[in-house]
C-alpha cells in the first residue's frame, strides 16, 4: 500500500540507505596527491575523534558491533577492505579501496570490516569521544532494539 506503514520492502526509510559513499576533494599533484576532510563540511557531523586500524593480519576482521549515537566516516587511507553493513533487516557490502572515497555510517548500523589487503589502513572519523556504553556488542540485542 503506497504511503503505508512500511514493513519489509515498504516505503519506510531504511537506515541502511543513509550509509553512503562520499567523495572527498582530491588535489592532484605530480609531487603526490592530497585529500582533505573538514568537519561538518565534507562529512555530515562534527569530528570529535580520529582513530585508525592498521597491521590487520590476513583473514582477520574488525568491528562486529553497532553504535547507539555515534556517526562515523571510514576511509581506506591505504589499501582496501570490505564493510558489511546490517540495519537489523537488510544487509549490504561496500568495498573501500580509494583514499578519496569515504563511507558515512549513521547510528544504529551493525558493521563488520573484512578482507583487509596487506598493509591497509582504515582511517575512522567519529562524531563523539570513545564511550563503551554507546556500543551494541551483541547482535541479538541490536536486532531486538532496532525492531521496536
Q: Which residues are catalytic?
A: 65
The residue count of the chain comes to 148
Choose between 14 and 48: whose C-beta lies nearer to ligand TYD: 48
Residues 99-138 that bind ligand TYD (CB under 6 A): 130
Assigned C-alpha cell, 6: 512500511
Assigned C-alpha cell, 50: 580520529
51 interacts with ligand TYD by CB under 6 A = yes
Assigned C-alpha cell, 43: 562529512
Q: Minimal CA–CA distance to 75: which of 135, 30, 28, 47?
A: 47
63 interacts with ligand TYD by CB under 6 A = yes
List 48, 62, 107, 143, residue binding ligand TYD (CB under 6 A)? 62
From 6-14, 20-28, 61-69, 100-108, span contacting ligand TYD (CB under 6 A):
61-69
Provide, for the chain, the percentages of residues in helix, strand and coil under a 3-state DSSP scheme, each rounded to the nearest 5.
10, 40, 50
53 interacts with ligand TYD by CB under 6 A = yes
Give the separation between CA 55 and CA 45, rounded to whole angstroms.
28
Choose between 81 and 100: whose C-beta lies nearer to ligand TYD: 81
Interface positions with ligand TYD (CB under 6 A) = 49, 51, 53, 62-63, 65, 130
Amino acid at each position: 500500500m503506497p504511503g503505508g506503514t512500511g514493513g519489509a520492502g515498504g516505503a519506510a526509510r531504511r537506515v541502511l540507505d543513509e550509509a553512503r559513499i562520499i567523495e572527498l576533494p582530491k588535489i592532484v599533484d605530480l609531487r603526490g596527491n592530497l585529500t582533505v576532510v573538514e568537519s561538518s563540511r565534507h562529512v555530515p557531523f562534527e569530528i570529535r575523534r580520529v582513530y585508525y586500524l592498521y597491521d590487520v593480519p590476513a583473514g582477520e576482521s574488525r568491528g562486529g558491533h553497532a553504535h547507539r549515537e555515534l556517526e562515523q566516516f571510514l576511509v581506506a587511507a591505504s589499501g582496501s577492505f570490505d564493510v558489511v553493513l546490517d540495519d537489523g533487516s537488510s544487509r549490504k557490502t561496500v568495498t573501500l579501496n580509494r583514499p578519496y572515497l569515504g563511507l558515512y555510517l549513521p547510528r544504529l548500523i551493525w558493521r563488520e570490516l573484512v578482507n583487509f589487503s596487506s598493509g591497509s589502513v582504515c582511517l575512522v572519523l567519529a562524531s563523539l569521544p570513545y564511550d563503551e556504553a554507546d556500543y551494541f556488542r551483541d547482535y541479538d540485542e541490536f536486532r531486538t532494539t532496532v525492531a521496536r
